[in-house]
Amino acid sequence: MLVSAAVAIADARIGKYGERTFSGRPHTVMERSYIAFKSSAWIVVLSGFVEPLLYLFSFGYGLGKFIGTMNVGHGHVVTYAAYIAPALLATSAMNGAIYDSTFNVFWKIKFDRIYEGMLATSLGPLDVALGEIGWALLRGFAYAVGFTTVIVPMGLIQNWWGILAIPAAVLIAFGFAAIGMAITTYMNSFQQMNMIQVVMLPMFLFSGSFYPLSVYPHWTQEIIKALPLWHAITLVRSLTLGDISLGLLPHIAYFLVMIFLGLFFTTRRLTALFMR
């Protein structure tokens, strides 16, 4: 029997691990996002790039004038701008990733029913999850790279280890995108979606972005240390300062777990929503 190209492609995966949930084509889902993105509002995209710079100039250089330098341990003394720059880098990776993986995903599930269309093809739910999370990650990555290209010439990263802040930003963006999408697939209303915003801002303000956690009582510190952004900031700051040690592994592990859980629950939920 003569088979179509689509059938031949799908049949080539028979017997492969996870063939029911994964067809090996998340890039086609990302391609869709790219095409839609080309005609989207650039001003919105640009605002995500500019935001951390605003913080850097107002706090880093404005407030920094009064603060002077910060002692970050291990004999490092840095300007206040250099202290907050890695935190802003980590935060911009987070914000970029959250942007596409939450409100945009919510809209696609509830109103555009995009995933229903995708899952009627030979794609599987893990393709959709990876494709969407991958796209969201790219935005976080782009913001982090953009921010880095501004702060390096300003002398805010003076250490070659600082290059590792870029792969770290990918890891951070991946983790936030995965968890962001997973949570979104369980949301039912815009009120619930707004809760995400309500959590994000305080997390940014209190996760050691602007001053060390030591200002807080012990129990508050413990809570903050459980939050993902603290791990992200600590990881990126250590890299930009050149504090490389095995002590960074728990932060990396934290994000690997986030990625795993995010992918797992997103795939599971997409299956429940559109395939049973």
Partner 1 sequence: MNSPAPILIRATGLTKKYEDFVAVNGIDFSVAKGDSFGFLGPNGAGKSTTMRIIAATLNRSSGSIEILGKDPELHGPQIRAHLGVVPQQDNLDQALTVTENLYVYGRYFGLPKKFIRAKIEELLEFAALEEKRDVKVEALSGGMKRRLTIARALISEPEILMLDEPTTGLDPQARHILWDRLFRLKEQGVTLLITTHYMDEAEQLCDRLIVMDKGSIMAEDSPSGLIKTYSTKEVLEVRFGSDKNALVAGELEALCERIEVLPDRILMYGEDGEHLLHTMKESGLQPLTSLVRRSSLEDVFLRLTGRSLIE
Among residue numbers 7 through 26, which ones bind partner 1 (CB under 8 A)?
7, 9-11, 13-14, 19-20, 23, 25
Q: Does 6 bind partner 1 (CB under 8 A)?
A: yes
Instruction: Return the number of the residue (52 or 134) whose C-beta is nearest partner 1.
Output: 134
Among residue numbers 39 through 58, which ones bind partner 1 (CB under 8 A)?
39-40
Instruction: Return the number of the residue (28 or 79) whose C-beta is nearest partner 1.
Output: 28
| CA atoms of 70 and 82, how far apart (whole Å) | 9
Rg (CA), the chain: 20
The string of DSSP letters for 102-152 reads THHHHHIIIII-HHHHHHTTT--HHHHHHHHHHHHHHHHHHHHHHHHHHHT
CA-nearest of 22, 5, 32, 26 to 104 is: 32
| Helix 80-101 / helix 165-185 crossing angle, nearest 10 deg | 40
| CA atoms of 139 and 208, how far apart (whole Å) | 23
Q: Does 105 bind partner 1 (CB under 8 A)?
A: no
| CA atoms of 2 and 8, how far apart (whole Å) | 10
Q: Does 121 bind partner 1 (CB under 8 A)?
A: yes
**Please, what is the minimum distance in Å from the beta carbon of residue 113 to partner 1?**
4
Instruction: Return the number of the residue (131 or 146) whose C-beta is nearest partner 1.
Output: 131
Instruction: Return the number of the residue (11 or 222) whose C-beta is nearest partner 1.
Output: 11
**Please, what is the minimum distance in Å from the beta carbon of residue 20 to partner 1?**
6
Tell me which of 35, 44, 198, 215 binds partner 1, using CB under 8 A: 35
**Please, what is the minimum distance in Å from the beta carbon of residue 162 to partner 1?**
37
Among residue numbers 236 through 275, which ones bind partner 1 (CB under 8 A)?
274-275
Residue type for 250, please?
Answer: P
| CA atoms of 20 and 2, how far apart (whole Å) | 24
**Please, what is the minimum distance in Å from the beta carbon of residue 1 to partner 1?**
9
Q: Are 133 and 262 in contact (CB under 8 A)?
A: yes
Structure tokens at 92: 């911009």
Give the footprint of partner 1 on this chain (CB under 8 A): 4-7, 9-11, 13-14, 19-20, 23, 25, 28-29, 31-32, 35-36, 39-40, 112-114, 116-124, 274-276
